[in-house]
Amino acid sequence: MANSIIGVVDDDDEVLASLGSFFRSAGLTIVPFRTAEALLGWPDLDLMDFLITDLHMPGMDGLSLKSALLERGCQVPVLLMTAFPTEAARARAGELGMADFVVKPPNPDMLLDTVERLLSQRSAAHHPGRTSWKRL
């Protein structure tokens, strides 16, 4: 997991800074984006190992972002965060294959555990001989 690249999309600068600082302290590389459109225009999109995105943002929302990634053939795990969870959003997230659905503000340790677990699962699927990642 030490070399994993995690994209974070949120229109709230404080959330981006907070998550960025927290994940960097855990030895993870964070690439922040204020909009879904900015992420989709990122030339290194195919290098991303994991994505955390807000649900409600100006322009494209988190669910539409996941749909756009799927249309591009990008199978990166996506964790959806929202301060306003609804059953409709949860259902749609499930239909799109979101890796997880988290209510803001997330518990940082639980969020890190979730990210580590999902990255390990992804790594095991792509590298069957590797069983775990270690933090820096």
Q: Quickly state the pLDDT bin for 132 (edges 50, 70, 90).
A: very low
Q: Which of 29, 48, 32, 31 is nearest to 136 (CA)?
A: 29
Please give the pLDDT value at position 130: 38
Please give the pLDDT value at position 3: 78
With 0-12 CB in 10 A as exposed, 13-18 as middle and 19+ as buried, what is 39? buried
Summarize pLDDT for 34-83 with one digit per residue, the tens.
Answer: 999 999 999 999 999 999 999 999 999 999 999 999 999 999 999 999 99
Inter-residue contact 8 to 20 (CB < 8 Å): yes
Q: Provide the token pair at 135.
A: 């933090």
Q: 118 pLDDT exceeds 50? A: yes
Q: 19 pLDDT exceeds 70? A: yes
CATH number of this structure's domain 5-56+66-84+93-126: 3.40.50.2300
Chain-centroid distance of CA 22 in Å reads 14
- Spell out the domain ranges in the chain: 5-56+66-84+93-126
Q: Quickly state the pLDDT bin for 127 (edges 50, 70, 90).
A: very low
